[in-house]
Structure 1
Amino acid sequence: MIESLLPPEAVWAEHFGPDPSARLLPEEEPHVAQAVARRREEFTTVRACARRAFAALGLPPGPVLPGVRNAPRWPAGVVGSMTHCDGYRAAVLARATDLAAIGIDAEPDLPLPDGVLEAISLPGERARLGLGGPAAPRPHGGRTVCRDRLLFSAKEAVYKSWYPLLGTELDFHEADISFHGGPDGTERAGGTERADSTVRTEGTGGVSGTFTARILRPEREPGGRLVEEFTGRWLSERGILVTAIGVPAPRTVPR
């Protein structure tokens, strides 16, 4: 799923559901020693994905340990991001000379729990997505994209891109996200629009589009570049929403 969302500099690995062949390295074991079975499986499978991505970069299969706020700690010279949700796990990596940061997020293509949308979104975002009133019932048949969950996923991808670059927190309300590709932010093979939290499509393929995140509290990277906007892509397929951002590395101008 995720390959179509990534810049060419990135390598990736994904797995749908648990991977019975996945194993933890000894350094990783203590971090899930007391975890429930589901948490341990997700932790293990997504790290197996990361090691497959290491191999694609020509790197040895080292441990991926959680750091501050559980952000994965990558080898020197490598940037990356991992994600997992019900039915899906993925890892994306790149050389730091090619990309400055990567942010990916996967979510079930289901409505957010009550109260979450208001907690993570701006009024303008809700208005652009037609989320100003109570959500209508989900349509029967066809394909749907839950716009509220899509917005949440994009915000998560933004944070996963921001934190490695700046090392500072970014609140949900400090990124203003706009989706592109149609009046509701979707690009789709066919179907009809609904002015609620979903978009219904009759095509059999995935539903995809792009998004822009305007940072309302821009900051400068240590190298001096101002971080004020991210662009990304999203995809809904097989009941899963995936969002991805790849931040280009600064280019040195020859003298």
Structure 2
Amino acid sequence: MIGEILPADVCVAEAFSDRTGEPVFPGEEASVGRSVESRRREFVTARRCAREALTQLGFAPVPIPAGPGRDPVWPSGVIGSITHCAGYRGAAVAARTDLTSLGIDAEPHAPLPEGILEAVSLPAERRRLAGLALRYPAIRWDRLLFSAKESVFKAWFPLTGRMLGFDEAELSIDPFAAEFSARLRVPGDRLDGGPALTGFTGRWLVRGDLMLTAVTVHA
């Protein structure tokens, strides 16, 4: 599924359930720590997906620990992203020569819990969501906005090493092209000596009970 909204040079792997009794991969024990069993299972499955995606780039299985910001630490020359939610685990990787950064997110296709939308959105975004909901009520636009911002953060953090607040990127969703754009409301870094980063673009997909979003930044 996630491959449908990513460029062809991105390698992906995904799973829709966990394997009973699958152990933590050697070298990743510290990343999962004393987590509850459900968290351990989703971690193990998502990291397995990441290794399966890496094999498509020619890498042997390696540990993928969590860095100081809890983001995955990839082998040299690789950029990637991992996501998991109820009923889905996925990973996407690419050579750093092809992409500068990427972010993916999976969410249940269900309304956000009460009060969350106000915490993760700007007034202008909520007005646009209200219009989308009137015209296309079958899509949970509040959850899509949240997922898209998660993908934006996952693409932003490896580039800058800084956190990005939900109010620091303003999102617009295209319901026809199944795309979205995020305009940064804070200064962005320069990429490879080029112009400063001012925003991100991405794609989205809703299928059944799942909602997926992806952002890519090209080299």
State the TM-score, normalizing by the size of structure 1.
Answer: 0.80
1:210 equivalenced with 2:204 (yes/no): no
Alpha-carbon shift at residue 23 of structure 1 (Å): 4.0
1:167 equivalenced with 2:137 (yes/no): no
Q: Is the 8 A contact 2:120 2:146 kept in 1?
A: yes
Q: Could you tell me which amino acid in structure 2 is paired with residue 236 of structure 1? A: V
Query: 1:222 & 1:99 partners in 2: Cα distance?
Result: 12
Query: 1:123 & 1:97 partners in 2: Cα distance?
Result: 38
The equivalences for 1:22-37 within 5 A come to 22-37=22-37
Q: Could you tell me which amino acid in structure 1 is paired with residue 68 of structure 2? A: V
Alpha-carbon shift at residue 131 of structure 1 (Å): 6.8
1:241 equivalenced with 2:198 (yes/no): no
Which secondary structure does the structure 1 equivalent of 2:172 belong to?
Answer: strand
Query: 2:44 & 2:21 partners in 1: Cα distance?
Result: 10
The equivalences for 1:24-103 within 5 A come to 24-103=24-103
Query: 1:105 corresponds to which residue?
Result: 105
**Deviating more after overlay: 31-40 vs 235-244:** 31-40
Q: Could you tell me which amino acid in structure 2 is paired with residue 240 of structure 1? A: L
Which secondary structure does the structure 1 equivalent of 2:106 belong to?
Answer: strand
Pick from 144, 152, 171 the counterpart of residue 150 of structure 1. Answer: 144
Q: Is the 8 A contact 2:200 2:217 kept in 1?
A: yes
Alpha-carbon shift at residue 69 of structure 1 (Å): 2.2
Query: 2:18 & 2:188 partners in 1: Cα distance?
Result: 39
Alpha-carbon shift at residue 22 of structure 1 (Å): 4.6
Alpha-carbon shift at residue 221 of structure 1 (Å): 3.2
Query: 2:213 & 2:192 partners in 1: Cα distance?
Result: 27
1:221 equivalenced with 2:215 (yes/no): no
Q: Is the 8 A contact 1:131 1:148 kept in 2?
A: no
The gaps in structure 1 that reach 5 residues or longer are 181-185, 188-207, 250-255
Query: 1:197 corresponds to which residue?
Result: none
Q: Is the 8 A contact 2:191 2:197 kept in 1?
A: no
Query: 2:143 & 2:209 partners in 1: Cα distance?
Result: 12
Give deviations 1:149-174, integer Å, cap 9, x for gaps: 10000000000000001111211101
Which secondary structure does the structure 1 equivalent of 2:111 belong to?
Answer: coil
Q: Is the 8 A contact 1:80 1:103 kept in 2?
A: yes
Structure exhibiting the larger radius of gyration computed from Cα positions: 1
Which secondary structure does the structure 2 equivalent of 1:97 belong to?
Answer: coil
How many residues end up aligned between the 2 structures?
216
Higher share of residues assigned helix:
2
Which secondary structure does the structure 1 equivalent of 2:186 belong to?
Answer: strand
Give deviations 1:26-72, integer Å, cap 9, x for gaps: 21123324211100000000011001001100011100100122100
